[in-house]
Protein backbone atom coordinates (compact mmCIF):
# COMPACT_ATOMS: atom_id res chain seq x y z
CA UNK A 1 0.00 0.00 0.00
CA UNK A 2 1.05 3.60 -0.53
CA UNK A 3 2.50 5.38 2.45
CA UNK A 4 4.34 8.51 3.51
CA UNK A 5 8.11 7.99 3.76
CA UNK A 6 8.99 11.59 4.59
CA UNK A 7 7.16 14.67 5.83
CA UNK A 8 8.12 18.28 6.39
CA UNK A 9 6.41 21.39 7.74
CA UNK A 10 7.18 25.06 7.44
CA UNK A 11 5.65 28.03 9.24
CA UNK A 12 6.97 31.59 8.72
CA UNK A 13 8.38 33.12 11.88
CA UNK A 14 6.39 36.37 12.01
CA UNK A 15 3.21 36.57 14.09
CA UNK A 16 0.56 39.21 14.48
CA UNK A 17 -1.78 39.07 17.47
CA UNK A 18 -5.52 38.93 16.93
CA UNK A 19 -5.78 41.77 19.46
CA UNK A 20 -3.46 43.96 17.33
CA UNK A 21 -5.67 43.54 14.23
CA UNK A 22 -8.80 44.14 16.33
CA UNK A 23 -7.24 47.33 17.77
CA UNK A 24 -6.75 48.79 14.27
CA UNK A 25 -10.35 48.11 13.24
CA UNK A 26 -11.88 49.21 16.53
CA UNK A 27 -13.21 45.77 17.46
CA UNK A 28 -13.26 44.22 20.92
CA UNK A 29 -10.14 42.01 20.94
CA UNK A 30 -11.54 39.62 23.57
CA UNK A 31 -14.68 39.01 21.53
CA UNK A 32 -12.79 38.38 18.31
CA UNK A 33 -10.26 36.10 20.01
CA UNK A 34 -12.99 34.09 21.73
CA UNK A 35 -15.11 33.89 18.59
CA UNK A 36 -12.32 32.37 16.53
CA UNK A 37 -10.21 30.65 19.16
CA UNK A 38 -7.19 32.15 17.39
CA UNK A 39 -4.82 34.27 19.51
CA UNK A 40 -2.31 35.06 16.76
CA UNK A 41 -1.49 34.14 13.16
CA UNK A 42 1.61 33.59 11.07
CA UNK A 43 2.67 36.25 8.59
CA UNK A 44 5.08 35.51 5.74
CA UNK A 45 8.20 37.67 5.55
CA UNK A 46 8.45 40.02 2.60
CA UNK A 47 10.66 37.45 0.82
CA UNK A 48 8.41 34.43 1.44
CA UNK A 49 5.60 33.07 -0.73
CA UNK A 50 3.94 29.74 -1.53
CA UNK A 51 6.98 28.67 -3.57
CA UNK A 52 9.54 29.33 -0.80
CA UNK A 53 7.29 27.74 1.85
CA UNK A 54 6.77 24.68 -0.36
CA UNK A 55 10.48 24.36 -1.13
CA UNK A 56 11.40 24.50 2.57
CA UNK A 57 8.77 21.97 3.67
CA UNK A 58 9.71 19.66 0.78
CA UNK A 59 13.39 19.84 1.63
CA UNK A 60 12.59 18.58 5.15
CA UNK A 61 10.32 15.88 3.70
CA UNK A 62 13.11 14.66 1.39
CA UNK A 63 15.55 14.59 4.30
CA UNK A 64 13.20 12.44 6.37
CA UNK A 65 12.52 10.23 3.33
CA UNK A 66 16.26 9.69 2.92
CA UNK A 67 16.14 9.48 -0.87
CA UNK A 68 17.95 11.35 -3.64
CA UNK A 69 15.91 14.14 -5.28
CA UNK A 70 16.55 12.58 -8.72
CA UNK A 71 14.30 9.65 -7.73
CA UNK A 72 11.21 11.87 -7.41
CA UNK A 73 8.83 11.15 -10.31
CA UNK A 74 6.12 13.74 -9.58
CA UNK A 75 5.68 16.98 -7.72
CA UNK A 76 2.26 18.51 -7.16
CA UNK A 77 1.60 21.66 -5.13
CA UNK A 78 -1.88 22.55 -3.97
CA UNK A 79 -2.45 26.22 -3.14
CA UNK A 80 -4.81 29.13 -3.64
CA UNK A 81 -1.90 31.58 -3.57
CA UNK A 82 0.44 30.36 -6.31
CA UNK A 83 2.68 33.41 -7.00
CA UNK A 84 2.07 33.17 -10.74
CA UNK A 85 -1.30 32.73 -12.44
CA UNK A 86 0.59 31.22 -15.40
CA UNK A 87 3.90 29.45 -14.58
CA UNK A 88 3.84 26.56 -12.16
CA UNK A 89 5.08 26.78 -8.59
CA UNK A 90 6.11 23.13 -8.87
CA UNK A 91 8.83 23.66 -11.46
CA UNK A 92 10.60 26.23 -9.24
CA UNK A 93 10.32 23.96 -6.20
CA UNK A 94 11.62 20.98 -8.23
CA UNK A 95 14.67 23.03 -9.27
CA UNK A 96 15.25 24.17 -5.67
CA UNK A 97 15.19 20.53 -4.52
CA UNK A 98 17.36 19.25 -7.38
CA UNK A 99 14.65 17.03 -8.91
CA UNK A 100 15.76 16.44 -12.49
CA UNK A 101 14.96 14.16 -15.39
CA UNK A 102 11.59 12.48 -15.82
CA UNK A 103 9.27 14.51 -13.64
CA UNK A 104 5.51 14.98 -13.65
CA UNK A 105 4.47 18.39 -12.41
CA UNK A 106 1.35 20.54 -12.17
CA UNK A 107 -0.15 22.95 -9.67
CA UNK A 108 -3.47 22.13 -8.06
CA UNK A 109 -6.28 24.39 -6.91
CA UNK A 110 -9.29 23.58 -4.76
CA UNK A 111 -9.41 26.26 -2.06
CA UNK A 112 -7.99 24.74 1.15
CA UNK A 113 -8.01 21.11 0.06
CA UNK A 114 -5.69 21.32 -2.95
CA UNK A 115 -2.83 19.83 -0.91
CA UNK A 116 -4.76 16.71 0.07
CA UNK A 117 -5.92 16.41 -3.57
CA UNK A 118 -2.22 16.42 -4.51
CA UNK A 119 -1.60 13.53 -2.09
CA UNK A 120 -4.42 11.51 -3.66
CA UNK A 121 -3.08 12.09 -7.17
CA UNK A 122 0.46 11.07 -6.25
CA UNK A 123 -1.02 7.95 -4.60
CA UNK A 124 -2.78 7.11 -7.86
CA UNK A 125 0.39 7.46 -9.94
CA UNK A 126 2.28 5.22 -7.52
CA UNK A 127 -0.49 2.59 -7.34
CA UNK A 128 -0.71 2.65 -11.14
CA UNK A 129 2.99 1.89 -11.40
CA UNK A 130 3.87 5.12 -13.25
CA UNK A 131 6.26 6.42 -10.60
CA UNK A 132 8.09 5.06 -7.53
CA UNK A 133 8.26 8.27 -5.51
CA UNK A 134 6.28 11.50 -5.59
CA UNK A 135 5.97 14.71 -3.58
CA UNK A 136 2.66 16.30 -2.62
CA UNK A 137 2.58 19.74 -1.01
CA UNK A 138 -0.11 21.99 0.43
CA UNK A 139 0.96 25.58 1.09
CA UNK A 140 -0.52 29.05 1.16
CA UNK A 141 0.12 32.69 2.00
CA UNK A 142 -3.51 33.67 2.21
CA UNK A 143 -4.92 37.15 2.51
CA UNK A 144 -8.13 38.55 3.88
CA UNK A 145 -9.23 42.01 2.82
CA UNK A 146 -8.27 44.66 5.42
CA UNK A 147 -11.02 44.84 8.04
CA UNK A 148 -12.73 41.67 6.79
CA UNK A 149 -13.41 38.86 9.27
CA UNK A 150 -10.98 36.67 7.33
CA UNK A 151 -8.11 39.02 8.09
CA UNK A 152 -7.89 37.68 11.67
CA UNK A 153 -7.16 34.15 10.54
CA UNK A 154 -5.72 34.13 6.97
CA UNK A 155 -2.18 32.91 7.55
CA UNK A 156 0.83 31.31 5.90
CA UNK A 157 2.43 27.88 6.09
CA UNK A 158 2.70 24.55 4.38
CA UNK A 159 3.54 20.87 4.59
CA UNK A 160 5.09 18.40 2.17
CA UNK A 161 5.01 14.61 1.90
CA UNK A 162 7.12 12.11 0.02
CA UNK A 163 5.03 9.09 -0.93
CA UNK A 164 6.04 5.58 -1.95
CA UNK A 165 4.64 2.02 -2.06
CA UNK A 166 5.28 -1.05 0.12
CA UNK A 167 8.29 0.62 1.60
CA UNK A 168 9.93 -0.34 4.89
CA UNK A 169 10.74 3.36 5.13
CA UNK A 170 7.02 4.16 5.54
CA UNK A 171 6.21 6.53 8.38
CA UNK A 172 2.52 5.87 7.86
CA UNK A 173 0.57 3.59 5.58
CA UNK A 174 -2.48 5.18 3.95
CA UNK A 175 -5.14 2.51 4.42
CA UNK A 176 -7.98 4.34 2.67
CA UNK A 177 -8.76 7.68 1.05
CA UNK A 178 -12.01 9.07 -0.36
CA UNK A 179 -13.57 12.41 -1.31
CA UNK A 180 -16.93 14.12 -1.17
CA UNK A 181 -17.71 17.05 -3.49
CA UNK A 182 -20.72 19.34 -4.13
CA UNK A 183 -21.23 22.71 -5.84
CA UNK A 184 -21.44 25.08 -2.85
CA UNK A 185 -20.80 28.85 -3.16
CA UNK A 186 -19.36 29.50 0.32
CA UNK A 187 -16.09 31.22 -0.61
CA UNK A 188 -14.53 32.28 -3.88
CA UNK A 189 -12.05 34.56 -5.59
CA UNK A 190 -12.39 35.57 -9.23
CA UNK A 191 -9.39 36.02 -11.47
CA UNK A 192 -7.60 39.41 -11.10
CA UNK A 193 -9.17 39.88 -7.66
CA UNK A 194 -6.72 40.31 -4.80
CA UNK A 195 -8.99 39.29 -1.94
CA UNK A 196 -11.58 36.51 -1.72
CA UNK A 197 -15.32 36.90 -1.16
CA UNK A 198 -17.32 34.72 1.16
CA UNK A 199 -20.90 33.90 1.99
CA UNK A 200 -20.67 35.07 5.62
CA UNK A 201 -22.59 32.73 7.93
CA UNK A 202 -23.12 30.42 4.98
CA UNK A 203 -19.55 29.09 5.53
CA UNK A 204 -20.43 26.96 8.56
CA UNK A 205 -23.30 24.49 8.43
CA UNK A 206 -23.92 23.85 4.68
CA UNK A 207 -20.26 24.15 3.80
CA UNK A 208 -17.60 23.09 6.34
CA UNK A 209 -19.68 20.88 8.64
CA UNK A 210 -21.62 19.17 5.87
CA UNK A 211 -18.55 18.24 3.82
CA UNK A 212 -16.08 17.40 6.59
CA UNK A 213 -18.80 15.49 8.46
CA UNK A 214 -20.00 13.54 5.43
CA UNK A 215 -16.51 12.61 4.20
CA UNK A 216 -15.42 11.55 7.71
CA UNK A 217 -18.55 9.42 8.21
CA UNK A 218 -18.09 7.87 4.74
CA UNK A 219 -14.50 7.04 5.71
CA UNK A 220 -15.44 5.46 9.04
CA UNK A 221 -17.99 3.30 7.22
CA UNK A 222 -15.50 2.35 4.46
CA UNK A 223 -12.75 1.48 6.94
CA UNK A 224 -15.18 -0.24 9.30
CA UNK A 225 -14.16 1.88 12.28
CA UNK A 226 -15.73 4.00 15.02
CA UNK A 227 -14.22 7.10 16.72
CA UNK A 228 -12.85 4.83 19.50
CA UNK A 229 -10.61 3.01 16.98
CA UNK A 230 -8.77 6.22 16.13
CA UNK A 231 -5.91 7.74 18.16
CA UNK A 232 -5.75 11.14 16.44
CA UNK A 233 -8.29 13.03 14.36
CA UNK A 234 -7.24 15.97 12.16
CA UNK A 235 -9.63 18.37 10.43
CA UNK A 236 -9.22 21.48 8.30
CA UNK A 237 -8.85 24.45 10.66
CA UNK A 238 -10.38 27.71 9.37
CA UNK A 239 -10.46 28.70 13.08
CA UNK A 240 -10.22 26.69 16.29
CA UNK A 241 -13.98 26.46 16.83
CA UNK A 242 -14.98 24.60 13.65
CA UNK A 243 -12.69 21.55 14.02
CA UNK A 244 -13.49 21.24 17.75
CA UNK A 245 -17.23 21.42 17.11
CA UNK A 246 -16.88 18.93 14.24
CA UNK A 247 -14.94 16.49 16.44
CA UNK A 248 -17.60 16.66 19.15
CA UNK A 249 -20.46 16.18 16.66
CA UNK A 250 -18.82 13.06 15.23
CA UNK A 251 -18.06 11.54 18.64
CA UNK A 252 -14.34 12.31 18.97
CA UNK A 253 -12.83 13.53 22.23
CA UNK A 254 -10.84 16.70 22.91
CA UNK A 255 -7.75 14.52 23.47
CA UNK A 256 -8.05 13.05 19.96
CA UNK A 257 -8.08 16.44 18.24
CA UNK A 258 -5.95 18.63 20.54
CA UNK A 259 -2.46 17.64 19.23
CA UNK A 260 -3.33 18.90 15.72
CA UNK A 261 -4.86 22.27 16.69
CA UNK A 262 -1.98 24.52 15.57
CA UNK A 263 -4.60 27.00 14.31
CA UNK A 264 -4.84 28.61 17.78
CA UNK A 265 -1.34 30.04 17.43
CA UNK A 266 -0.77 30.34 13.67
CA UNK A 267 -4.24 30.86 12.16
CA UNK A 268 -5.69 29.25 9.05
CA UNK A 269 -2.92 28.21 6.66
CA UNK A 270 -5.49 27.20 4.00
CA UNK A 271 -3.96 24.42 1.86
CA UNK A 272 -1.42 23.89 4.63
CA UNK A 273 -4.04 23.73 7.39
CA UNK A 274 -5.08 20.09 7.85
CA UNK A 275 -1.63 19.00 6.61
CA UNK A 276 0.17 20.97 9.36
CA UNK A 277 -2.25 19.29 11.77
CA UNK A 278 -1.04 15.97 10.36
CA UNK A 279 2.67 16.86 10.65
CA UNK A 280 2.08 17.95 14.27
CA UNK A 281 0.55 14.52 14.97
CA UNK A 282 3.35 12.66 13.14
CA UNK A 283 5.85 14.42 15.43
CA UNK A 284 4.39 12.54 18.42
CA UNK A 285 2.53 9.45 17.09
CA UNK A 286 3.68 5.93 17.99
CA UNK A 287 3.89 2.89 15.72
CA UNK A 288 0.54 1.13 15.41
CA UNK A 289 -1.53 4.23 16.16
CA UNK A 290 -4.34 5.29 13.81
CA UNK A 291 -4.86 8.75 12.32
CA UNK A 292 -8.03 10.01 10.63
CA UNK A 293 -7.64 13.26 8.65
CA UNK A 294 -10.29 15.15 6.67
CA UNK A 295 -9.53 18.32 4.75
CA UNK A 296 -12.01 20.92 3.51
CA UNK A 297 -11.97 23.11 0.43
CA UNK A 298 -14.59 25.75 -0.26
CA UNK A 299 -16.54 25.33 -3.37
CA UNK A 300 -16.81 22.63 -1.87
CA UNK A 301 -15.32 19.30 -0.93
CA UNK A 302 -13.44 17.17 1.56
CA UNK A 303 -10.74 14.52 1.22
CA UNK A 304 -10.51 11.97 4.01
CA UNK A 305 -7.56 9.71 4.86
CA UNK A 306 -7.25 6.80 7.28
CA UNK A 307 -3.66 5.99 8.21
CA UNK A 308 -1.62 3.60 10.35
CA UNK A 309 1.64 4.81 11.91
CA UNK A 310 4.65 2.58 11.13
CA UNK A 311 7.95 1.81 12.91
CA UNK A 312 10.14 4.12 10.75
CA UNK A 313 8.55 7.15 12.42
CA UNK A 314 10.77 6.67 15.48
CA UNK A 315 14.08 7.12 13.64
CA UNK A 316 12.87 9.87 11.28
CA UNK A 317 10.94 12.45 13.21
CA UNK A 318 13.98 14.01 14.91
CA UNK A 319 15.81 14.64 11.62
CA UNK A 320 14.05 17.98 10.96
CA UNK A 321 12.33 20.77 12.92
CA UNK A 322 8.99 19.75 14.44
CA UNK A 323 5.71 21.53 13.79
CA UNK A 324 4.98 22.80 17.32
CA UNK A 325 8.61 23.95 17.60
CA UNK A 326 8.04 26.10 14.52
CA UNK A 327 4.73 27.34 15.96
CA UNK A 328 6.62 28.56 19.02
CA UNK A 329 9.61 30.07 17.18
CA UNK A 330 8.28 33.53 16.47
CA UNK A 331 8.79 37.28 16.31
CA UNK A 332 5.87 39.68 16.60
CA UNK A 333 5.07 42.32 14.02
CA UNK A 334 2.67 45.23 14.46
CA UNK A 335 -0.13 46.05 12.03
CA UNK A 336 1.97 48.59 10.12
CA UNK A 337 4.78 46.12 9.49
CA UNK A 338 2.22 43.48 8.58
CA UNK A 339 0.65 45.71 5.91
CA UNK A 340 4.12 46.30 4.46
CA UNK A 341 4.96 42.58 4.41
CA UNK A 342 1.61 41.70 2.87
CA UNK A 343 1.75 44.51 0.30
CA UNK A 344 -1.45 46.08 1.57
CA UNK A 345 0.08 49.53 1.17
CA UNK A 346 -0.41 51.19 -2.18
CA UNK A 347 3.11 52.02 -3.36
CA UNK A 348 4.14 54.53 -5.95
CA UNK B 1 18.60 41.33 -13.89
CA UNK B 2 17.74 39.83 -17.27
CA UNK B 3 15.57 36.72 -17.41
CA UNK B 4 18.11 34.65 -19.45
CA UNK B 5 20.95 35.48 -17.09
CA UNK B 6 18.92 34.55 -14.03
CA UNK B 7 17.81 31.31 -15.70
CA UNK B 8 21.42 30.26 -16.44
CA UNK B 9 22.35 30.90 -12.83
CA UNK B 10 19.52 28.85 -11.30
CA UNK B 11 21.59 25.88 -10.00
CA UNK B 12 23.94 28.06 -8.03
CA UNK B 13 21.28 30.52 -6.88
CA UNK B 14 18.78 27.87 -5.79
CA UNK B 15 21.02 25.16 -4.36
CA UNK B 16 24.48 26.64 -3.70
CA UNK B 17 26.18 24.72 -6.49
CA UNK B 18 29.80 25.90 -6.71
CA UNK B 19 32.94 24.69 -8.44
CA UNK B 20 35.77 22.58 -7.09
CA UNK B 21 39.17 22.25 -8.73
CA UNK B 22 40.56 18.74 -8.33
CA UNK B 23 44.04 20.02 -9.12
CA UNK B 24 44.45 22.75 -6.47
CA UNK B 25 41.56 21.57 -4.20
CA UNK B 26 40.04 25.08 -4.13
CA UNK B 27 36.27 25.71 -4.03
CA UNK B 28 34.76 28.62 -5.95
CA UNK B 29 31.44 30.43 -5.70
CA UNK B 30 29.90 31.61 -7.99
CA UNK B 31 30.96 28.61 -10.07
CA UNK B 32 33.81 28.91 -12.58
CA UNK B 33 34.33 27.15 -15.85
CA UNK B 34 38.10 27.43 -15.65
CA UNK B 35 40.14 27.37 -12.43
CA UNK B 36 41.43 30.94 -11.94
CA UNK B 37 44.53 29.55 -10.23
CA UNK B 38 45.54 26.56 -12.34
CA UNK B 39 44.11 27.75 -15.67
CA UNK B 40 44.54 24.90 -18.17
CA UNK B 41 46.03 22.52 -15.65
CA UNK B 42 42.88 22.81 -13.53
CA UNK B 43 40.07 20.26 -13.41
CA UNK B 44 36.80 21.92 -12.47
CA UNK B 45 33.75 19.99 -11.18
CA UNK B 46 30.37 21.07 -9.80
CA UNK B 47 30.03 20.70 -6.06
CA UNK B 48 27.12 21.19 -3.65
CA UNK B 49 28.33 23.60 -0.98
CA UNK B 50 27.51 23.28 2.72
CA UNK B 51 24.38 25.19 3.75
CA UNK B 52 25.83 26.21 7.11
CA UNK B 53 28.43 28.79 7.93
CA UNK B 54 29.19 31.85 10.01
CA UNK B 55 29.16 35.59 9.55
CA UNK B 56 32.60 36.79 8.48
CA UNK B 57 31.61 40.42 8.03
CA UNK B 58 28.42 42.38 7.39
CA UNK B 59 26.84 45.72 6.65
CA UNK B 60 23.40 47.17 7.36
CA UNK B 61 21.64 48.60 4.30
CA UNK B 62 19.42 51.57 5.18
CA UNK B 63 19.18 53.18 1.74
CA UNK B 64 18.41 50.55 -0.84
CA UNK B 65 17.80 50.37 -4.58
CA UNK B 66 14.08 50.75 -5.47
CA UNK B 67 13.30 47.01 -5.67
CA UNK B 68 14.57 46.49 -2.10
CA UNK B 69 13.29 49.66 -0.42
CA UNK B 70 10.43 47.91 1.40
CA UNK B 71 13.00 45.70 3.16
CA UNK B 72 15.21 48.33 4.82
CA UNK B 73 16.99 48.11 7.15
CA UNK B 74 18.46 44.77 6.11
CA UNK B 75 21.76 42.96 6.49
CA UNK B 76 24.11 41.91 3.73
CA UNK B 77 26.90 39.67 4.97
CA UNK B 78 30.01 37.89 3.84
CA UNK B 79 29.48 34.34 5.02
CA UNK B 80 32.20 31.76 5.50
CA UNK B 81 30.62 28.45 4.54
CA UNK B 82 31.63 25.25 6.31
CA UNK B 83 34.39 23.70 4.14
CA UNK B 84 33.72 26.32 1.53
CA UNK B 85 34.39 29.78 0.22
CA UNK B 86 33.14 33.19 1.34
CA UNK B 87 29.81 34.13 -0.18
CA UNK B 88 27.84 37.35 -0.18
CA UNK B 89 24.22 37.07 0.95
CA UNK B 90 21.34 38.85 2.59
CA UNK B 91 20.62 37.75 6.18
CA UNK B 92 16.83 37.66 6.50
CA UNK B 93 14.21 37.24 9.25
CA UNK B 94 16.24 39.03 11.91
CA UNK B 95 16.53 42.34 13.70
CA UNK B 96 19.70 44.06 12.50
CA UNK B 97 20.97 44.46 16.06
CA UNK B 98 21.03 40.66 16.49
CA UNK B 99 23.61 40.19 13.73
CA UNK B 100 27.23 39.79 14.89
CA UNK B 101 30.46 38.62 13.34
CA UNK B 102 31.01 34.93 14.13
CA UNK B 103 27.31 34.07 14.53
CA UNK B 104 26.20 30.79 12.94
CA UNK B 105 23.89 31.01 9.94
CA UNK B 106 22.09 28.53 7.69
CA UNK B 107 20.80 28.79 4.12
CA UNK B 108 17.14 29.35 3.29
CA UNK B 109 15.35 29.57 -0.06
CA UNK B 110 13.67 32.95 -0.51
CA UNK B 111 12.44 35.52 -2.99
CA UNK B 112 15.37 37.72 -3.99
CA UNK B 113 13.62 40.32 -6.11
CA UNK B 114 10.56 40.91 -8.23
CA UNK B 115 10.60 42.63 -11.57
CA UNK B 116 7.70 44.93 -10.66
CA UNK B 117 4.12 43.68 -10.27
CA UNK B 118 4.03 41.92 -13.66
CA UNK B 119 7.56 40.63 -14.20
CA UNK B 120 9.48 37.53 -13.25
CA UNK B 121 10.09 36.66 -9.57
CA UNK B 122 13.70 35.78 -8.82
CA UNK B 123 14.34 33.18 -6.12
CA UNK B 124 17.55 32.05 -4.49
CA UNK B 125 19.63 31.61 -1.36
CA UNK B 126 19.61 33.85 1.66
CA UNK B 127 20.76 33.07 5.19
CA UNK B 128 19.10 33.21 8.61
CA UNK B 129 20.67 33.23 12.07
CA UNK B 130 20.94 29.63 13.27
CA UNK B 131 21.14 30.42 16.99
ZN1 LIG C 1 42.82 24.77 -9.59
A328 has catalytic annotation? no
- The count of CB pairs under 8 A between chains A and B is 46
Question: In this complex, do B70 and A46 lie within 8 Å of one another by their Cβ atoms?
Answer: yes
- Choosing among A44, A47, A339, which should be mutated to test the B contact, i.e. which has the most B CBs within 10 A? A47
Residue A320 makes CB contacts below 8 A (sequence gap 6+) with A8, A60, A63, A64
| A118 to chain B, closest Cα gap in Å | 22
Rounded Cα distance, A319 and A64, in Å: 6
Q: Is residue B112 part of a domain?
A: yes
- Please check whether residue B99 lies inside any domain of the structure: yes
Report whether B108 contacts B128 (CB < 8 A).
Answer: yes
- Quick check: is B33 in a domain? no
Residue A270, SS3 per DSSP = helix
| Residue A324, pLDDT score | 98
What pLDDT is stored for residue A201 in this prediction?
59
| Assigned domain for B3 exists | no
Average pLDDT over residues A41-50: 96
| Predicted pLDDT of residue A164 | 98
From the candidates A236, A265, A310, A320, which is the catalytic residue?
A236
- What pLDDT score was predicted for residue A348? 59
Map out the domains of chain A with their CATH numbers.
3-170+322-331 (3.40.47.10), 172-314 (3.40.47.10)
In this predicted model, what pLDDT tens digit does every residue of B99-130 receive, in sequence order?
A: 999 999 999 999 998 887 788 899 999 999 99
Structural domain total, chain B? 1
Of A83, A96, A331, the CB nearest to B109: A96
Tell which B residues from 22 to 41 touch A, by Cβ distance under 8 Å.
Answer: none
Instruction: Examine residue B28 and state whether it is found in any structural domain, yes or no.
Output: no
Instruction: List pLDDT tens digits, range A108-138.
Output: 999 899 999 999 999 999 999 999 999 999 9
Average pLDDT over residues A315-320: 97
CATH label of the domain that carries residue B75: 2.40.50
Asked about A68 being catalytic, the answer comes back as no
**Chain B: closest CA distance from residue A66 (Å):** 17
pLDDT digits (tens, 9 = 90+) for B16-68: 999 999 999 999 998 999 999 999 999 999 999 999 999 999 999 999 988 88
Mean pLDDT score across all residues of chain A? 94
B87 domain residue, yes or no: yes
pLDDT of residue A347: 64
- Percent over 70 (pLDDT), chain B: 99
> Does B103 fall in a domain?
yes
Residue A198 annotated as catalytic: no
As a whole-number percent, the residues of chain A with pLDDT over 70 amount to 97
Instruction: With respect to residue B45, please indicate whether it lies within any of the assigned structural domains.
Output: no
The span from the CA of A217 to the CA of A209, in Å, is 12
Domain range for B113: 51-129
Amino acid sequence: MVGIIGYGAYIPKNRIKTSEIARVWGKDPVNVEKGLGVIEKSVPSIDEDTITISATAAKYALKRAGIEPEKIGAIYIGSESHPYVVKPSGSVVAAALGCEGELRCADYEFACKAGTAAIQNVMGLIEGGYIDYGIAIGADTSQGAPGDALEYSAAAGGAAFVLSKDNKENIVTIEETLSYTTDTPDFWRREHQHYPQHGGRFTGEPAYFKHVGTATEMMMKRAGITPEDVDYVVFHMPNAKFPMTMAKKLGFSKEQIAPSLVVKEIGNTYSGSSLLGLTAVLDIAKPGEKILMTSYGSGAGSDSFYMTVEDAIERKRDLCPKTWEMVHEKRYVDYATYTKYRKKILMR
Amino acid sequence: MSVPRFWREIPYRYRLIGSYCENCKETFFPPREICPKCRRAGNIKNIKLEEEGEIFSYTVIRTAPPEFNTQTPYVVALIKLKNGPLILSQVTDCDVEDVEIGKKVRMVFRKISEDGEAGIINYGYKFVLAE
